[in-house]
Chain A
Amino acid sequence: MAVKKLNIKDKYRLLTRDLDWDYSYAERKKAFPFEEFEGIKITDWSKWEDPFRLTMDSYWKYQAEKEKKLYAIFDAFSQNNGHLNVSDPRYVNAIKIFLTGVSPLEYQAYQGFAHVGRQLGGIGARVACQMQSLDELRHVQTQIHAMSHYNKFFDGFQEFSHMHDRVWYLSVPKSFFNDARSAGPFEYMIAIGFSFEYVLTNLLFVPFMSGAAHNGDMATVTFGFSAQSDEARHMTLGLEVIKFLLEQHEDNLPIVQKWLDKWFWRGSRLLTIVAMMMDYMLPNKVMSWKEAWEVYFEEAGGALFKDLARYGIRMPKYSETIKKEKEHISHQAWWTFYTHGHATGFHTWIPSDEELDWLSEKYPDTFDKYYRPRWELAKKMEADGNRFYTKALPQLCTTCQIPMLFTEMDDPTQICYRDTVYEGERYHFCSDGCKDIFDDEPEKYVQSWLPVHQIYQGNCGGPGVEDILSDFYKMNLGKDNMDMKGSPDEQRWKEWKNSA
């Protein structure tokens, strides 16, 4: 019998798409109960295009090869005390933020994609989501393993899981992903699969991974490159999802656009911490946040939205606001963390004079005018023995949960305040974007576990801030927190370098 040669499309269809069947005995709708409640209309799942037709055997083969290479480097890194090669011990605080703030999101992504990987009605989409779920588990576990060595030698890594659930600034990333996972399957796919994994992913990856490369952090940069190849698959899944939904039914367009507007805004708010990290926490700079935004959103995103325009999709709402904000948010954020440095699980510091000059150069329109004077004052206070730590707790935006540190775009001397009264209570927001999100689904956002509100309600122990930090947050006071100057991290670094 002549053996026909099967092409990859047909083979994949027979090996994967054909496995599913129409139910006769149980109700299919009961097996897949979440397909309709969001108002999305799917007329024909068979129109789903599989961009990468990876069968499980190939998946195992290629991923195993990546893991072998990656773990060989992790082993070499720890055997050779690789942490001594970082440019400057201040750098390590950037990856403390990564492990406590970002890695747990990878875990939530594993959970989120496992959920949609079960709940979506089309097998092609399910399998792609299942593979992504597996990839995200890979990411959180390889990140934990990459940071494992740093945890042995620096403070601030050891309680990453406990802190992510409780600490005030970590509720920003946590609530972002809780928001996505609590949404329906299609919103989840647009939120994470498309908006985050396609539009914004480079703005998370490039700062951290390039930052690692420029600052001698072999473990993180190797993880980054290894994970990026998974991201290529994720990006294509995200792009396929949005095209599929828009092609399935014209009624899906306004829903998808609304989600794009929401998640683009929430995503860019989330990136505030990354912006700050890029501009203030990397001793060897990669590029400024402003430059990163220009390359990775304004240019790259521009090409994408031109492509999607034929479906009727427009640029996300408030993209013009973000364009203006790119000049400001990193400065406003770092100032906030610096002044709250007694309550952070990582060290903070005043930028060096060279770093201040770099900031002036990169932000010619804003830095010297609005932000340098603050640092000059901070320097003076520190020299006088009065390194400033605020006594107050910040008001948080109900939606993004970031402290109200953002300013009006046309007047950076004014904090931006918005509010809504809902069922007799007033809720506060940092921006029109966050207010819009709340106003569209108030019953959802009133549930937010806002860390500062919770502290004031007595739900985080106390009575003093120090008790909350040490007992509720499990921070090691005097070790995890406070200025870089005089920290045990700095002390140990000096000892290591002297004895080398």
Chain B
Amino acid sequence: MTLEIKTATLDSVRNTFAHIERRFGDKPATRYQEATYDVQSENYFHYRPLWQPEKELNDPSRTAIKMEDWYAFRDPRQMYYGTYVQQRAKMQEVAENNYSFFEKRSLINHLSDEVKAKLIRYLVPLRHMEQAANLNNMYASSYGYGTAITQACLFNGMDRLGVAQYLSRIGLILDGNSGDALTEAKLFWMKDELWQGLRACAEEMTVTEDWFEVLIAQDVVADSLIYDLYYHQFDAWLQDNQAQDVGMLTEFMQVWSKESNRWVDAVLKTAAAESDENKALLEQWIMKWKTKLMQSLEAISAEMLGGDALRAAEAVLNKRLAKAGLFK
């Protein structure tokens, strides 16, 4: 027997907002649609920015990428604020349980000194790279155009802060909350020859002007290479060296990366498919930053994993680029 509760049905006057109806037709809209499409102001700004008087407050010409409709950058994850925080909260709960378990059971004692030293030298300094990623995605969010892409950049920027904080916690686990591992890792980042190439790249990204170029450099090239090297290849090495428990502490990054890439891939594909000019520009930027980043990661990957590791990461990047319709 089924139970049907009858509520009074009233005829609505309209199904959704007029701008949503213009785009999608006269039918009920999703929360993502209503929260995203055409919310950003587009015309008749009152004052030019004192800090950039040659541009308007919201200005599509802050990038050389051209789009007929900036809302073509629909997020395949359909994340607006509510779904974003709820998704992250689920991931955070798992991570918190993992970290709690790791600490309660003192799983640190299962890690050899060699592994601990490697984590401080290779993994923990990445927190500074994530700090740069936070700046870069905030840059894209603030200078970008259209809610669809700018909100996703904001989410990404805040995610990087979260990842940086998890990496910092790993450091604190390694040094028993003394902060020594973090100090050591920062010293590597600032002074050790191994890291200077990547640090220089990070700094250069933060002075790059075109926000779409910054997004490409960071979210496409850098992240692809780094996340494959660390959260796939290095993770495998750790498993082979009785350090699989570290995976509990980096699981968040793996889950995050997989989800975020769905968005990044969609951005790439949409921008490339728009026009030959866009495609050429994207390819130009990718080549530029790929060269720089591969060079900067050469020594790190060689020391951390051995000769072929970087080529393998590059292959992963190339595969994604091909899927997006680039370099074809």
Contact = CB atoms under 8 A, between A and B. Distances in A.
Interface string A92-112: 000000000000100110110
A239 interface: no
Interface stretch (B82-90, B216-224, B306-314, B320-328): B82-90
Contact of A130 (B157, B168, B178): B157
B17 A157 contact: yes
Contacts of A10: 179
B46 A179 contact: yes
Interface in B165-212: 165-166, 168-169, 172, 176-179, 182, 186, 189-190, 196, 199-200, 203-204, 206-207
B46 A117 contact: no
A333 B147 CA distance: 33
Contacts, number: 254
A134 B161 CA distance: 13
B101 to A, nearest CB: 15
Interface stretch (A163-171, A290-298, A402-410, A427-435): A163-171
A159 to B, nearest CB: 5
Given A4-B178, A21-B189, A79-B7, A65 B138 contact: no
Contact of B31 (A15, A16, A145, A449): A145
B127 interface: yes
Interface stretch (B67-75, B92-100, B239-247, B265-273): B92-100
A449 B50 contact: no
A161 B41 CA distance: 7
A104 B103 CA distance: 46
Given A67-B82, A114-B141, A56 B162 contact: yes
Contact of A21 (B18, B93, B147, B186): B186
Of A22, A24, A142, A182, chain B has the most CB atoms within 10 Å of the CB of A182
A87 to B, nearest CB: 18
Interface in B2-17: 7-8, 10, 12-17
Given A65-B89, A152-B14, A164-B41, A449 B46 contact: yes
B69 to A, nearest CB: 15
B161 A140 contact: no
Contacts of B190: 21-22, 24
A141 B50 contact: no
B151 A159 contact: no
A151 B82 contact: no
Given A64-B89, A130-B158, A178-B57, A25 B46 contact: no
Nearest to A179: B47
Contacts of B80: 141
B82 A137 contact: no
A69 to B, nearest CB: 11
A447 B8 contact: no
A272 interface: no
A114 B50 contact: no
A397 to B, nearest CB: 13
Contacts of B128: 19, 21
A117 to B, nearest CB: 5
A114 B154 contact: yes
B142 interface: yes
Given A31-B206, A144-B34, A107 B10 contact: no
B176 A160 contact: no
A4 B158 CA distance: 28
B131 to A, nearest CB: 4
A5 interface: yes
Contacts of A21: 128, 131, 186, 189-190, 199
B10 A496 contact: yes
Contacts of A20: 131
Contact of A57 (B8, B46, B96): B96
A148 interface: yes
B7 A80 contact: yes
Contacts of A339: none
B139 interface: yes
Of A5, A25, A79, A114, chain B has the most CB atoms within 10 Å of the CB of A114
Given A26-B206, A107-B40, A117-B138, A449 B85 contact: no
A171 to B, nearest CB: 7
B161 A127 contact: yes
A153 interface: yes
A18 interface: yes
A111 B41 CA distance: 11
B86 A175 contact: no
Given A21-B128, A64-B85, A148-B34, A57 B162 contact: yes
B203 A25 contact: yes
Given A25-B200, A162-B19, A492-B13, A67 B177 contact: no
Contacts of B85: 59-60, 63-64, 67, 138
Given A26-B204, A67-B85, A137-B151, A171 B46 contact: yes
B46 A174 contact: yes
B46 A71 contact: no
Contact of A30 (B58, B200, B207): B207
B280 interface: no
A169 B85 CA distance: 35
Of B48, B147, B151, B158, chain A has the most CB atoms within 10 Å of the CB of B158
B50 A444 contact: yes
B287 interface: no
Given A81-B8, A130-B158, A178-B47, 14 more contacts: A21-B190, A25-B203, A26-B204, A26-B207, A67-B85, A67-B86, A111-B142, A114-B142, A127-B161, A133-B141, A162-B38, A178-B45, A182-B57, A447-B47
30 contacts: A4-B177, A11-B172, A14-B179, A16-B161, A18-B182, A19-B128, A24-B203, A25-B196, A26-B203, A31-B135, A56-B88, A60-B85, A60-B91, A71-B82, A111-B142, A118-B142, A130-B134, A130-B138, A134-B154, A137-B154, A141-B80, A141-B81, A142-B81, A148-B17, A152-B14, A153-B10, A155-B13, A158-B17, A161-B39, A179-B46
Interface of A: 1-6, 10-11, 14-16, 18-27, 30-31, 33-34, 37, 55-57, 59-61, 63-65, 67-68, 70-71, 79-81, 104, 107-108, 110-111, 114-115, 117-119, 123, 126-127, 130-131, 133-134, 137-138, 140-142, 144-145, 148, 151-155, 157-162, 164-166, 171, 174-175, 178-179, 181-185, 444-445, 447-449, 454, 474, 488, 492, 496, 499-500
Interface of B: 7-8, 10, 12-19, 31, 34-35, 38-51, 57-58, 80-82, 85-86, 88-93, 95-96, 103, 127-128, 130-131, 134-135, 138-139, 141-142, 147, 150-151, 154, 157-159, 161-162, 164-166, 168-169, 172, 176-179, 182, 186, 189-190, 196, 199-200, 203-204, 206-207
**In the complex, the 10 A-B pairs of residues with the closest C-beta atoms, listed nearest first:** A64-B89, A56-B162, A26-B203, A152-B12, A25-B200, A118-B138, A19-B131, A60-B88, A141-B35, A114-B142
